[in-house]
Structure 1
Amino acid sequence: MQYEFTIIVPLFNEEENLLRVEQALSDYINKAIKMSSVLLVNDGSTDNSLTLIEEICSRQEHFRYISFDKNRGLSAAIKAGFDHAESPLIGYIDSDLQTDPEDFDLLLAEIGEYDLVTGVRGNRKDRFVKNISSKIANNIRRSFTNDGMEDTGCPLKVIKAEYALNIPMFQGLHRFLPAMILLQEGTVKQVPVRHYPRLAGTPKYHLWNRLGGPLVDCFAYLWMKKKYINYKIEKKG
């Protein structure tokens, strides 16, 4: 089957959420505006996630998975998803389902003239500390990248595969996906999406890896921007 759109779901120790993920994404792809599939990326979970993933993929025709040998981090899981997707468009959503898969259609409606479309979470349902630390981190990152993005951490994105595969990923770079598209002279757009409280599982990020880590990554991004190779072929023969 030739899919138009692959939804990557990185996950680490999310056994409490996986059946909800199955139901929500199965419901979505049955009525999505693009022929869609789901790629679950197990980032070395130590709970019962892998067993559940195998069961889900055995009964869902449009689901498949890859599983790491050990925990490698969110950026590695996203890169693996980019590398193993088999469609011209790639999406990304978190397994906590704090964003709604149905909002992918809002992003897909805009992707034609853009190379990456990212959600902006309105009326966020997170705790105060998480909201304020994310706001500070976004301001810091935006001052380094000048990408104009209000909410680069929103876990709902659609990107053209040709651009995704050209991103030189490193740990932490998932926060810089719009900036990396701009480095390729691509175009980006933000679209408001819905946001919900986390119903199950445990958040994997705390104050340090929302603030300290991204600040260090900003300097890595500046180095990469300076060294980045970009070219276009005008003729060949």
Structure 2
Amino acid sequence: MARDGLRVSVVVPVRNEASNIEPLLKEIERALLPMGEFEVIYVDDGSDDLTSDELQRLSSVCPWLSYRRHEFSTGQSAAIRTGVKTARASTIVTMDGDGQNDPAFIPSMVEMLERTGAICGLVQAQREGRQDTGFKKLQSRIANNIRQFILSDGTRDTGCGLKCFPRSVYLDLPFFAGLHRFMPALVQRDGYTVRFTEVRDRTRLAGLSKYGLFDRLGVGIVDLLGVWWLLHRSRRSPVRVDSRDHVDHPRLDTRMMQDFA
């Protein structure tokens, strides 16, 4: 069930991506217009370029675009959380703001979530044909292998920014810096299923990468051990689904209302 008539809210965290905003927004608009009502929420995570100016300019001509700004950078997970708390739709899609995620895959991801029903807590995209440097590909392979060995979450590419999930499911997850990298394991911990879909990777439109795969390896390892602890010491009861739920969109937890000030 959509909130405020919106089928989906797309959340895009960015830091110093001024030159990538307009071309990516045009792609998002083309992809989402056939889906009905939507909104796009950019979260400027403490940029010191013209990102904020560009978002202000474009929001004046795109009625479906809004943005929030962090006065200083608090990290990708915090930026995503700000966007999700601001969102008005009950279905959320997150994506990177550098153009490497193709918005053309958003409709099929939303349909997969809706078709699977309330038992599905996440549709996770996994990239094919990675366009990163050889070093970043090696870094990604090592990080994903370590994560898979410890968490066994069935995900080979948790670093892909394209994710689709119910807003209420996300807001029930424990928040910490790095949450976006561990969503499959934590969603499964809460008793939901995770669906995967293959997407093509692209080169970034312009500029340099701002958020590394594990940002700082030491922090990534600490997060990984913390998630392992959550999986083994704080497991929640499985989600109960009746026979009517397999065709329904995940129902909104009415306690999770917009509380972003």
Partner Cα distance (2:177, 2:142) in 1: 20
1:99 correspondence with 2:92: no
1:198 correspondence with 2:200: no
Q: Secondary structure at the match of 1:120?
A: strand
Q: Secondary structure at the match of 2:60?
A: helix
Moved more, 171-180 or 200-209: 200-209
Partner Cα distance (2:121, 2:43) in 1: 23
Give, as a single letter, the amino acid of the residue that structure 1 aligns with 2:12: V
Q: Secondary structure at the match of 1:153?
A: coil
Among residues 14, 26, 29, which one is paired with 1:11 in the alignment? 14
2:220 alignment partner in structure 1: 214
Partner Cα distance (2:36, 2:235) in 1: 33
Partner Cα distance (1:47, 1:103) in 2: 29
Specify whether residues 134 and 212 from structure 1 end up closer, same or farther in structure 2 by C-alpha distance, changes over 3 A only: farther
Q: Secondary structure at the match of 1:209?
A: coil
User: Deviation of residue 167 (structure 1)?
Assistant: 1.1
Mapped contact 1:137–1:215 kept (Cα < 8 A): no
Partner Cα distance (1:188, 1:206) in 2: 24
Partner Cα distance (1:161, 1:5) in 2: 10
Q: What are the equivalent positions in structure 2 for 1:163-202 lying under 5 Å apart?
A: 163-202=169-208
Among residues 17, 28, 31, which one is paired with 1:28 in the alignment? 31
RMSD (CA atoms): 1.9
Partner Cα distance (2:131, 2:238) in 1: 43
Specify whether residues 95 and 41 from structure 1 end up closer, same or farther in structure 2 by C-alpha distance, changes over 3 A only: same
1:152 alignment partner in structure 2: 158
Partner Cα distance (2:213, 2:8) in 1: 34
Give, as a single letter, the amino acid of the residue that structure 1 aligns with 2:87: A
User: Deviation of residue 231 (structure 1)?
Assistant: 4.6
Q: Secondary structure at the match of 2:18?
A: coil
The count of aligned residue pairs is: 233
User: Deviation of residue 116 (structure 1)?
Assistant: 0.6
Runs of 5+ unmatched residues, structure 1:
none
Moved more, 218-227 or 146-155: 218-227
Partner Cα distance (1:211, 1:233) in 2: 34
Partner Cα distance (1:185, 1:80) in 2: 25
Specify whether residues 34 and 175 from structure 1 end up closer, same or farther in structure 2 by C-alpha distance, changes over 3 A only: farther
Runs of 5+ unmatched residues, structure 2:
241-261
Q: What are the equivalent positions in structure 2 for 1:77-88 lying under 5 Å apart?
A: 77-88=79-90
Identity %: 32
2:66 alignment partner in structure 1: 64
1:41 alignment partner in structure 2: 43
Partner Cα distance (2:66, 2:223) in 1: 31
Q: TM-score, normalised by structure 2?
A: 0.83
Specify whether residues 95 and 208 from structure 1 end up closer, same or farther in structure 2 by C-alpha distance, changes over 3 A only: closer
User: Deviation of residue 227 (structure 1)?
Assistant: 4.3
Q: Secondary structure at the match of 1:30?
A: helix
Mapped contact 1:15–1:52 kept (Cα < 8 A): yes
Mapped contact 2:18–2:50 kept (Cα < 8 A): yes
Partner Cα distance (1:233, 1:206) in 2: 34
Mapped contact 1:172–1:217 kept (Cα < 8 A): yes
Partner Cα distance (1:34, 1:103) in 2: 16
Residues 136-192 of structure 1, C-alpha deviation per residue, up to 9 Å, x if partnerless? 111111112111011111111100112011011101111001111111101101100
Q: Secondary structure at the match of 1:59?
A: coil
2:137 alignment partner in structure 1: 131
